[in-house]
């Protein structure tokens, strides 16, 4: 995912300002990263077709950015990688809430026929987990959130953002072998934790 030259440097500048107590930096960060967060939201929605049926990318993005702005009052990311990890967490939570809203007992999508759409997910790399039902999706997102930071970061980049493993290695600043190891560990953890849920 290519960014304009200086994007990361500028983001680091605003993160440093937050660390120094400049509250206005939160707004600058949101504005500075809006386009990338829109792409991230779009990628995450592609992997959640049940929510995509009822919500637009910009709606999810707006609510997730409100969550992100609030979370920046309590959490102060020290690097662009940590910031985008926090952003992915807030988008994930928004998707979970939307899924529960639309597919809960009273939701308009609870009994809506999907023609199997819930099983259609673009694969990335050798990913094999494909949540199908609302419970599966919720369990999947929550399992990702509970992962150790290093594994969660790799899942965010490979599965949610759609980066290749070499791209993820460059972004994180580790070797390709390290990314492959963390990705494998994350997949094994998901399979173990989600063994009772329906995956194809």
Q: What crossing angle do the helices spanning 176-193 and 165-172 adopt, rounded to 10°?
A: 110
Distances (CA, A) of 63 to 10, 118, 184: 24, 23, 32
Q: Is residue 129 part of a domain?
A: yes
Contact indicator for 14, 78 with CB cutoff of 8 Å: no
Least Cα distance to 121 among 133, 132, 106, 105 occurs for 132
Tokens 């920046």 identify what position?
A: 72
Distance CA 37, CA 31 (A): 10
Answer yes or no: are the C-beta atoms of 83 and 37 closer than 8 Å.
no
Let me know if residue 44 belongs to a domain.
Answer: yes
Residue 187 lies inside a defined structural domain of this protein:
yes
Q: Extract the residue ranges of the chain whose pLDDT is less than 70.
A: 1-5, 49-51, 54, 102-135, 196-200
Q: Is residue 56 part of a domain?
A: yes
pLDDT of residue 85: 86
Phi, psi of 24 (to 5 degrees): -65, -20
Domain count, the chain: 1
What pLDDT is attached to residue 3? 56
pTM of the predicted model, to two decimals? Answer: 0.65
Beta bridge partners of 199: 131
- Cβ contacts of residue 157 below 8 Å, gap of 6+? 163, 167, 168, 171, 172
| Rounded Cα distance, 119 and 114, in Å | 9
**Which distant-in-sequence residues (6+ apart) come within 8 Å of 53 by Cβ?**
102, 109, 112, 114, 117
Alpha-helical segments (H) within 74-117: 80-103
CA distance 35 to 145: 23
In a domain, 160, yes or no: yes
Do 44 and 62 form a contact (C-beta atoms < 8 A)? Answer: no
Q: Is 11 contained in some domain?
A: yes
Residue 125's domain comprises 7-105+117-193
Which pair of structure tokens corresponds to residue 155?
A: 């899942």
Positions of E strands within 89-184? none
Model confidence pLDDT, tens digit, residues 85-137: 889 889 888 888 887 776 655 444 444 444 434 332 333 444 444 555 666 77
Any domain includes 1:
no
In a domain, 110, yes or no: no
């Amino acid at each position: 995912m290519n960014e304009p030259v200086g994007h990361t440097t500028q983001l680091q500048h605003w993160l440093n300002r937050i660390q120094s107590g400049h509250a206005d930096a939160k707004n600058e960060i949101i504005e500075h990263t809006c386009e990338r967060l829109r792409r991230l939201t779009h990628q995450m929605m592609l992997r959640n077709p049940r929510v995509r049926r009822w919500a637009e990318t910009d709606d999810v993005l707006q609510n997730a950015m409100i969550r992100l702005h609030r979370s920046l009052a309590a959490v102060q990311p020290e690097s662009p990688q940590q910031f985008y990890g926090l952003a992915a967490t807030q988008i994930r939570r928004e998707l979970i809430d939307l899924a529960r809203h639309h597919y809960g007992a009273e939701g308009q999508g609870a009994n809506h026929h999907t023609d199997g759409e819930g099983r259609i997910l673009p694969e990335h790399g050798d990913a094999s987990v494909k949540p199908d039902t609302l419970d599966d999706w919720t369990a999947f997102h929550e399992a990702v959130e509970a992962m150790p930071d290093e594994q969660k970061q790799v899942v965010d980049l490979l599965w949610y953002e759609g980066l290749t493993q070499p791209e993820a290695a460059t972004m994180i600043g580790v070797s390709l072998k390290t990314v492959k190891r963390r990705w494998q560990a994350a997949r094994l953890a998901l399979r173990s934790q989600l063994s009772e849920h329906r995956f194809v």
